[in-house]
Amino acid sequence: MKLPGQDAIARQADEHLVTHRVTLPRKVVEHPIRQVAKRLSVALVVLVVTALIVYLDRDGYTDNADETVDFLDAFYYATVTLSTTGYGDITPVTDAARLTNIFVITPLRVLFLIILVGTTLEALTERTREEWRLNRWRSALRDHTVVVGFGTKGRSAIKTVCATGLRKEQVVVVDPSAKAIEAAAADGFAGVVGDATRSEVLKRAEVYRAKQIIIATQRDDTAVLVTLTARQLNRGAKIVVAVREEENAPLLKQSGADAVITSASAAGRLLGLSVLSPAAGMVMEDLIQQGTGLDIVERPVIKAEVGKTPREVDDLVVSVLRGHRVLGYDDRAVGTLELTDRLITIVRVTQGRQVAPDMRPLPRD
* 3-state helix/strand/coil string of the chain: CCCCCHHHHHHHHHHHHCCCCEECCCCCCCCHHHHHHHHHHHHHHHHHHHHHHHHHCHHHEEECCCCCCCHHHHHHHHHHHHCCCCCCCEEECCHHHHHHHHHHHHHHHHHHHHHHHHHHHHHHHHHHHHHHHHHHHHHHCCCCEEEECCCHHHHHHHHHHHCCCCCHHHEEEEECCHHHHHHHHHCCCEEEECCCCCHHHHHHCCHHHCCEEEECCCCHHHHHHHHHHHHHHCCCCEEEEEECCHHHHHHHHHHCCCEEEEHHHHHHHHHHHHHHCHHHHHHHHHHHCCCCCEEEEEEECCHHHCCCCHHHCCCEEEEEEECCEEEECCCCCCCCCCCCCEEEEEEECCCCCCCCCCCEECCCC
**pLDDT tens by residue, the chain, 365 residues:** 444 444 544 444 444 444 556 776 665 445 667 777 777 788 888 888 988 998 898 888 888 877 788 888 888 888 888 877 777 787 787 778 778 877 788 888 788 777 777 766 766 666 677 777 778 888 888 899 999 999 888 998 898 888 777 888 899 999 999 999 999 988 889 999 999 999 999 999 999 999 999 999 989 999 999 999 999 999 999 999 998 888 888 999 999 999 998 877 777 777 787 888 888 878 877 776 666 677 788 889 999 999 999 989 888 898 999 988 888 888 888 889 999 999 998 887 765 444 444 445 444 44
Contact indicator for 226, 217 with CB cutoff of 8 Å: yes
Helices 106-140, 32-56: crossing angle, 10 deg rounding: 160
pTM score > 0.75 for this model? no
Tell me the backbone φ, ψ of residue 190, rounded to 5 degrees: -75, 145
